[in-house]
Amino acid sequence: MNIDGSATRSIWVEADGRSVGIFDQRLLPWVLERMVLRSVEDAAVAIADMATRGAPLIGAVAAYGLAFGLREDASDAALAAAHARLVRTRPTAVNLRWALDRVSDAVRALAPADRAAAAFAEAGRICDEDVAMNRAIGEAGLPLIRALAERKGGQPVNILTHCNAGWLATVDWGTVTAPIYMAHDAAIPLHIWVDETRPRNQGALTAFELAAHGVPHSYIVDNAGGLLIQQGQVDMVIVGTDRVTANGDVCNKIGTYLKALAARAHDVPFYVALPSSTYDPATPDGASVPIEQRSADEIRFVSGTGEADRLTTVRLTGSPAYNPAFDITPAALVTGYVTDLQEISGNPIFPVDRLIRRA
């Protein structure tokens, strides 16, 4: 996608061919700053501190982090230690472990001298495949938006999103945003309601992306979504996910469940966009997913620009705070799962009849 007037991915190999670059998302949308990652610890800190966000992207960053670790020490013990260091940074998003396991499996049978280069190449393949999967999600979701536009006779299709599942949260295209970008580029009239998604305000990143692409949108407080759905101002809800369990339950950013309940109450379709790498057949249901508990300071403080457009942080409250990062939306509330063409499940429990794939 485009940022600062040029096409880019959210993660790239630097000119030295050995390090990778990312955008520091803690500073967006106010400051555009790039970070260079060179070590397993660089990658771990970037993931844990949310300099990089989004289940697919943190998987890609972790994959490169494992390759960095193998450059320092390619022994079996070091491979296991680097895997353990990275996997504990964010416990909920399944892409993290998926990417680390994939890289580990790709190098484990190799001689130690060959492991680092093979891991780096495998991380690159993970990135390329993520782009292809998100493009496929876009092509699968586009007909849903087109059908709504036809029913509305050319009036804008109003779509509600939650959190950021855009290209900044993946390697490119995004999961939720891929069909939106494709619909916009196909001249389908759109208007996107963008939840702010407290406490990290990741909806601001979605708004930042949509503005760069020229997609009409409005930034709203999280709790406005229910009213808009009730008033008939939402034609569809589409959200991303950090993990979909074997039975189809959806783990996504806190607040997703309430949107699904409102959508069901008012017969508004509720879609989940996911690459097949985010499906977790090893976890039976949402109750089995570890819900990440993040620092209370994410609630007690908020960042933004103040005088002279300088980035600043202010305290909102001195009270104790509780900060679960995710919630669970039961499969029964999901209208459809918009995914890529890869086989997502041989599990008969999964609601395969609701998979929406590219034709």
Distances 240 to 54, 56, 94, 305 between C-alpha atoms, Å: 9, 11, 13, 28
| Confidence at residue 343, expressed as pLDDT on a 0 to 100 scale | 77
Q: Where in the chain is the domain with CATH 3.40.50.10470?
A: 141-356
Provide the H-helix boundaries in 220-287. Answer: 224-230, 256-265
What are phi and psi for residue 338, nearest 5 degrees? -90, 115
| Confidence at residue 4, expressed as pLDDT on a 0 to 100 scale | 67
The catalytic residues are 242
Residue tagged 């790498």 (tokens)? 277
Digit-by-digit pLDDT tens for the chain (359 residues) are 777 667 789 999 999 999 999 999 999 888 889 999 999 999 999 999 999 999 899 999 999 999 999 999 999 999 999 999 999 999 888 899 999 999 999 999 999 999 999 999 999 999 999 999 999 999 999 999 999 999 999 899 999 999 999 999 999 999 999 999 999 999 999 999 999 999 989 999 999 999 999 999 999 999 999 999 999 999 999 999 999 999 999 999 999 999 999 999 999 999 999 999 999 999 999 999 999 999 999 999 988 887 777 888 899 999 999 999 999 999 999 999 999 977 776 777 889 999 999 87
Q: Where in the chain is the domain with CATH 1.20.120.420?
A: 2-129
Contact by Cβ (8 Å): 3, 14: no
| Confidence at residue 158, expressed as pLDDT on a 0 to 100 scale | 98
| Confidence at residue 5, expressed as pLDDT on a 0 to 100 scale | 66
- Per-residue tokens: 137: 């999600």
Contact by Cβ (8 Å): 305, 235: no
Residue tagged 């998100």 (tokens)? 134
Contact by Cβ (8 Å): 332, 124: no
Residue-wise pLDDT for 270-301, tens only, equals: 999 999 999 999 999 999 999 999 999 999 99
Pick the CATH number of 141-356 from 3.20.20.210, 3.40.50.300, 3.40.50.10470, 3.90.1150.10: 3.40.50.10470
Q: Which residues, including other chains, have CB under 8 Å from residue 243's CB and lie 6 or more apart? A: 55, 92, 93, 94, 250, 251, 278, 280, 283, 289
Pick the CATH number of 2-129 from 3.40.50.880, 1.20.120.420, 3.30.390.30, 2.40.50.140: 1.20.120.420
- Per-residue tokens: 175: 């999961």
